[in-house]
Amino acid sequence: MANEDQFKKVISHAKEYGYVFQSSEIYDGLSAVYDYAQNGAELKKNIRDYWWKAMVQMNENIVGIDAAIFMHPTTWKASGHVDAFSDPLIDNKDSKKRYRADVLVEDYCAKIEKKIEKEVKKAEKRFGDAFNKEEFVSTNGRVLGYQEKIDIILKRLGQSLEKEDLADVKALIEELEIADPLTGSRNWTDVKQFNLMFGTKLGASAETAMDLYLRPETAQGIFVNFLNVQKTGRMKIPFGIAQTGKAFRNEIVARQFIFRMREFEQMEMQFFIKPGTQKEWFEHWKAHRMKWHLSLGMGNDNYRFHDHEKLAHYADAATDIEFKFPFGFKELEGIHSRTDFDLKQHEEFSSKKLQYFDHEANASYTPYVLETSIGLDRMFLAVFSNALRDETLDDGSVRTVLKLPAVLAPTKAAVLPLVKKDGLPEIARQIIDDLKWDFNVIYDEKDAVGRRYRRQDAAGTPFCITVDHDTLKDNTVTIRHRDTMEQQRVKIEDLRDIIKKEVDVKHWLQKMK
Ligand code: ATP
């Protein structure tokens, strides 16, 4: 299936199976704002829990907080967001469409990358089993040429953005002859900076109301609470503070479903360390976060690191964990070495000391910070789009199946009475009453059992439990596994353990070791 078709399918499947709806759809929706439906809310919660358990519960030296969305407006002056949280925008004079200038250039590079992928596929076919991808991409002249071109372009883009040389960003767009993707026009305006923060007001009367921003990241709620948490939690460096919560950005271009939203959720962790140790902690968190992703079994080839050329004003090293979305490799998570920038800024703007007294060193210092920051909605899209497959079965029929990692699936099991009579529904209800203490389970009695299996496959339910006439005799049921479609006859009393084994967080997170 072409990537674009696959992405369209992801969006329509998310709607059809109660995962994601357009916000205020009856009023024709709101651009780049989405609602999570009955299954989506569960999947999102499970992803959040999986992150929280891995970061907070499993690490003695990391604690979680839940800071307010509204923050004192000086926070955003101190953090640099008022002055520097902007994206370079460019308008097309003919189509009147607005774009992010850096994204236009990056998309151009992604097209060259596609050419590399094509060369690799061709060579794979030609050489068969003897094909060595690594060797091929590091020696093939054409691939090297493409790669060099990408590197030169991205380097120049990074440097121009770093120097705020927006005229050069425009020059680059013109030199590469980049056209409006929708209309093909190359009639561009100059590149301008656009601040992404949403403003609002706090207070009842117009005269006394205070101008506020909706937070564009959750991180600052952690920085301003650094000392409170350190003291009340008696935390010793190195230690981390984690939080999940909503963030808001007035994105210039937001056309990729829940990949880029104007209201979204982040899962962030700030790890406070001794100055000078940032390199080793950067490597540590890079490796650790990648292990977390890989533990979900979504394909090792679907991830890669992308080290930043252009560093944000606060960082001395940064990398992205990129995931292969239906529209190509894109940032899923950022890992940043933020130095002591934020704490120092807050010290300066608040005139409060935000230092740590290190008993071992018998000295006070401003800690350095290592940050891991992942978008919950982006993670949702990664999980959901990777899980959705059309599988051709042995009999030639095609089944649509949502192979969500069982630990994340919204519903763990559907209980299906074979027929709606002979006492089978009552037994199914008893099974549900028993299992619902531990898992989300649902009852389904409509249609033939085969159709019910398909419905649950498409909804992502890992197990179906069928109650039939033999159940009346021997208290056994059939349990069917979504991914293999394998069916087993088991005792009702064993169901809990069978399901638990496959959906238990421990079983999954242990893969990080
Ligand atoms: P991008 O380059 O894609 O705009 P970013 O580098 O600005 O992202 P960060 O500020 O590092 O992103 O935010 C951390 C994480 O938050 C990102 O890796 C991403 O998963 C998520 N995120 C950022 N912006 C959005 C958005 N508009 N919608 C959904 N998720 C987002």
Q: Give pLDDT tens digits for 5-16.
A: 899 999 999 999
Distance in Å, CA 312 to ligand 1 centroid: 13
Choice between 134 and 54, residue whose per-residue pLDDT is larger: 54
Q: Note whether 407 and 503 are within 8 A (CB).
A: yes
Mutate to test the pocket of ligand 1, among 214, 263, 266 (most ligand atoms within 8 A of CB): 266
pLDDT over 70 (residue 77): yes
Ligand 1 centroid – CA 110 distance (Å):
18
Mean per-residue pLDDT for 372-383? 98
pLDDT at residue 312 is higher than 90: no
What per-residue confidence (pLDDT) applies to 204?
81
387 compared with 127, residue with greater pLDDT: 387
Is 378's C-beta closer than 6 angstroms to any atom of ligand 1? yes
Nearest to 99 by CA among 331, 107, 162: 107
The confidence score (pLDDT) of residue 286 equals 97
The per-residue pLDDT for 309 is: 74
Residue 457 in contact with ligand 1 by CB distance below 6 A: no
Identify the three-state secondary structure at position 152.
helix
Determine what percent of the chain is predicted with pLDDT higher than 90.
88
Q: Which residue, among 415, 414, 513, has the nearest Cα to 471 in the 3D structure?
A: 415
What band does 206 get if pLDDT is binned at 50, 70 and 90? confident
Pick from 206, 256, 225, 198: nearest CA to 32: 256
Q: Which of 331, 333, 377 to mutate to test the pocket of ligand 1 (most atoms within 8 A of CB)?
A: 331
Average pLDDT of the chain, as a whole number: 95
Please report the pLDDT score of residue 486 as a whole number: 97
Query: In the numeric block, which tokens belong to residue 117?
Result: 């992928």
Could you tell me if the CB of 374 is within 6 A of ligand 1?
A: yes
Residue 353, pLDDT above cutoff 80: yes
In angstroms, the first-to-last Cα distance of the chain is: 36
Tell me if 264 CB under 6 Å of ligand 1.
Answer: yes
Residues above pLDDT 70, as percent of the chain:
100
Mean pLDDT computed over 369-396: 96
The closest residue, in CA terms, to atom 18 on ligand 1 is 333
pLDDT for res 1: 52
Please indicate whether residue 375, judged by its CB atom, sits closer than 6 Å to ligand 1: yes
333 in contact with ligand 1, CB cutoff 6 A: yes
The predicted-structure confidence for 331-342, as pLDDT tens digits, reads as follows: 999 999 999 999
Q: Is the pLDDT of residue 493 over 70?
A: yes
Q: Biggest alpha carbon distance in the chain?
A: 80
